[in-house]
């Protein structure tokens, strides 16, 4: 195997690793509210979400095309740039997962690639108008739109069922949540799995194995579908806890309304080829469901921490992507990429070991939580 082919294999493996982190980081987007209200048992929820993420990955390629050609100039992209961008995305995903912050995997990936492209080839390598129109503007508008839809849906759900007993209402909306959460999972697969497909397509174009503008090969689509579904099945319990317990005191009508709003916005963005952050959409929907319910307890301090993470995701992942490219470039060639890859594995292992000291899992994800960085058990901080 020659050096270029080995480099391509390393980049593809790293891309699938990112896809895996995307899966477990974003499981919360589809299933947090259903788990919180008891509509689905935690392990059943992540299994259903994994299957539907897999199916959704095969339904569209519009977002993949945007990632492959709408954000950066594919002619200026090298395998090392793609690899460095992936490193930025993976490390930001792992950091925010460890902290339980529902940040955007999409923006982490885009930020990493843009940062690596900027340091490697200057501003000409980045399609500024594409970043603004297809990334930044949707990031600002989508959570607001989803929140408004969810708020209105929540208000109507309570209004329409005002004369129905709480027990009957909860049973009905729990059944509805199974369908609405499943739809969000399907929508997530149509949007997020394609981002990795687009990145692998960029790598294949840089390698000369794929013509610019061509659709990703079937093996790329299938492998990305498998990777994101496996990650989803792992369950990103730390982020699930934040969205299910940290933002709003969620009841079944709110869960149904927020999931329905999220699915509609995500599916619309997939149709138009926008690489939307499902995390931003779902978080906006959940906040909207809190506003739409009279006397709901909304934890604005948690929302503030999330908003801060959203603002720094693109530049932070971009900085890591730039540093990863510079490190690989200093050593040079395949050896440089290999050295950064080893460092990436070491960092990932450190996050995993740190998380095991205070685990969040399917058994305790629904425990009472104050919304602070350290959850409380019997009044005593239990760790992150």
Tens digit of each residue's pLDDT, the chain (384 residues)? 677 888 999 999 999 999 999 888 888 877 888 888 888 899 999 999 999 999 988 876 666 556 656 677 766 678 898 899 999 999 999 999 998 888 888 889 889 989 999 998 888 888 888 788 777 887 788 889 899 999 999 999 999 998 999 899 999 999 999 998 898 888 888 777 778 888 888 888 888 888 877 888 999 999 999 999 999 998 788 888 888 777 777 889 998 999 889 888 887 777 776 666 778 888 889 889 888 887 666 777 788 888 888 889 999 999 999 999 999 999 988 899 999 999 999 999 999 999 988 888 888 888 876 555 444 444 333 333
Instruction: Kindly report, residue by residue over 225-267, the tens digit of the pLDDT.
Output: 999 999 999 878 888 888 877 777 788 999 899 988 988 888 7
Domain boundaries defined on the chain: 3-359
Do the Cβ atoms of 67 and 194 come closer than 8 Å?
yes
pLDDT of residue 343: 96
Q: For residues 22 and 70, give the distance between their C-alpha atoms in angstroms, rounded to a whole number.
A: 21
pLDDT of residue 324: 96
pLDDT of residue 214: 80
pLDDT of residue 61: 63
Q: For residues 318 and 2, give the distance between their C-alpha atoms in angstroms, rounded to a whole number.
A: 30
| Burial 206-234, CB ≥16 within 10 A → b, else e | bbeebeeeeebeeebbebbbbbbbbbbbe
23 contact partners, CB below 8 Å, separation of at least 6: 50, 53, 227, 228, 229, 230, 231, 232, 233, 234
Other C-beta atoms lying within 10 Å of the C-beta of residue 309: 20
Do the Cβ atoms of 235 and 30 come closer than 8 Å?
no
pLDDT of residue 31: 87
pTM: 0.85
């Amino acid at each position: 195997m020659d050096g270029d082919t080995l480099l391509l294999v390393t980049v593809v493996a790293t891309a699938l690793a990112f896809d895996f982190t995307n899966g477990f980081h974003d499981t919360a987007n589809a299933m947090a509210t259903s788990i919180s209200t008891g509509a689905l048992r935690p392990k059943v929820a992540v299994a259903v979400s994994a299957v539907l993420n897999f199916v959704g990955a095969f339904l569209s390629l519009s977002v993949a095309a945007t990632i492959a050609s709408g954000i950066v100039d594919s002619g200026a992209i090298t395998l090392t740039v793609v690899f460095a961008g992936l490193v930025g995305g993976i490390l930001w995903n792992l950091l925010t997962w460890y902290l339980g912050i529902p940040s955007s995997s999409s923006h982490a990936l885009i930020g990493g690639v843009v940062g690596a492209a900027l340091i490697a080839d200057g501003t000409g390598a980045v399609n500024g108008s594409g970043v603004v129109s297809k990334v930044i503007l949707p990031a600002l508008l989508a959570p607001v739109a989803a929140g408004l839809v969810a708020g209105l849906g929540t208000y109507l759900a309570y209004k329409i069922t005002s004369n129905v007993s709480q027990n009957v209402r909860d049973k009905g909306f729990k059944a509805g949540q199974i369908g609405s959460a499943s739809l969000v999972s399907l929508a997530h697969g149509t949007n997020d799995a394609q981002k990795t497909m687009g990145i692998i397509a960029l790598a294949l174009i840089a390698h000369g194995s794929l013509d610019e503008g061509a659709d990703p090969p079937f093996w790329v689509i299938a492998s990305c579908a498998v990777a994101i579904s496996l990650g989803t099945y792992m369950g990103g319990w730390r982020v699930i806890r934040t969205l299910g317990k940290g933002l709003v005191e969620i009841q079944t009508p709110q869960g149904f309304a927020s999931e329905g709003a999220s699915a509609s916005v995500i599916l619309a963005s997939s149709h138009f080829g926008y690489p939307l952050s499902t995390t931003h959409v779902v978080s906006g929907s959940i906040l909207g469901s809190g506003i739409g319910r009279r006397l709901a307890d909304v934890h604005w301090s948690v929302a503030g921490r999330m908003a801060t993470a959203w603002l720094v995701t693109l530049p932070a992942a971009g900085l890591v992507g730039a540093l990863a490219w510079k490190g690989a470039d200093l050593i040079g060639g395949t050896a440089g990429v290999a050295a950064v890859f080893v460092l990436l594995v070491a960092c990932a292992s450190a996050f995993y070991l740190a998380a095991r000291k205070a685990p969040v899992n399917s058994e305790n994800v629904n425990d009472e939580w104050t919304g602070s960085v350290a959850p409380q058990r019997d009044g005593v901080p239990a760790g992150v």
